[in-house]
Amino acid sequence: HPLAPSSQIYDIFLPRETRTRRALLICNIKFEHLSQRNGAEVDVKQMTKLLEGLGYKVDVHENLTSQEMVTEMKNFAGLKDHLTSDSTFLVFMSHGCRTGICGTKSTDENTDILSLNTIYESFNNEHCKALMHKPKVVIVQACRGGRVGSVLVCDSRDPATPAKSPDSMFVMGLEDDKMRRVHLESDFAALYSSTPDTVSWRSPERGSVFIQRLVEQFRNHAFKSDVQEMFRMVQRSFENFHIQLPTQERTTMLKKFYLFPG
C-alpha cells in the first residue's frame, strides 16, 4: 500500500481468483424468553452484502443457542479454505449482557450466554492454526448491559493524574527455544457496538444504528483505509449520538490490514 511500508501491512498473498476468504455471521432474532429483535434481518442482509463485496463467502446462521454457536465456530475454524485465505470476519448479533452474547434460550445474564472469551479462544493460534498471523476481525452487535451510554458532565477542578506507562519495563535474558513459539492470541481487531454495561440501539425498520454506520464507513473507505482506521471512523460517526459509543477491544493486530492493498 502506498501509505505504509510493506513490513507494517498484513500480506494479501494470493490473487483474488484463488484466495478463499470466508466470513462467519451469527444473528439471533427470535428468542424463547426475550423480545424479538425486529430489524435484525436488515442487519444480516446489509452485512452479508458488504462482506461479499469485500470478497468473502459468508456462512450465515440464525437463532442459535450458545452451545450451537460454539459448534458453528468450531466448524468454521476447521475449514480448509482458511489455508488459502488471508483473513476472516466473525460477526455476532444478538441480545447481550456484560459477559457475552445471548443464545435463543437465554432468560437472564446467567443462562445460555456465549462468553466473548470463547470467540477469541475458538480462533486463537492454538485452535485455528490456518488463520495464524492472519487478520481476524470481530464485530459484535449486542447490548452489554442496561445503562444508557450518556451522562451529564461538568468540568472537574482536579483532573485525574495519568498513570505511568509500563513501556519502560523490559524482560531481559531470554533465550531462543528450538521450537518456535507464537503468541497464543494475536492478529485480532474487534469492534463492539457499545461500551461495557450500556445498551445498543436498533430501528425495527432500518436495523441497528451500529451496523448501518459500519456498513456505510466500510463502503466509503475500504478501498483506501485500513480496518482499524475505519473502526475509528465508525466511532467518530457516533460523536453526536450520545446514548451509544462503539468500542475497540482486545485488539492484537500488529500491522495494518487493508482489504484492497495496492
The C-alpha atoms of residue 92 and residue 115 are separated, in whole angstroms, by: 12
Among this protein's residues, is 95 annotated catalytic? yes
Which of 27, 95, 97, 128 is an active site residue?
95
Q: What share of the chain is helix, strand, coil (3-state, %, to 5)?
A: 25, 20, 55
What is d(CA 52, CA 222) in angstroms, rounded to the nearest whole number? 13
DSSP 255: S
Amino acid at 191: L
Fill in the amino acid letter for 141. Q
Which residue in 27, 97, 128, 143 is the catalytic one?
143
Reported for 56-60, long-range contacts at CB under 8 A and 24+ positions apart, including other chains, are: 56/21, 56/22, 56/23, 56/88, 56/89, 57/20, 57/21, 57/22, 57/23, 57/81, 58/22, 58/23, 58/24, 58/25, 59/22, 59/23, 59/24, 59/25, 60/25, 60/27
Active site positions, annotated: 95, 143
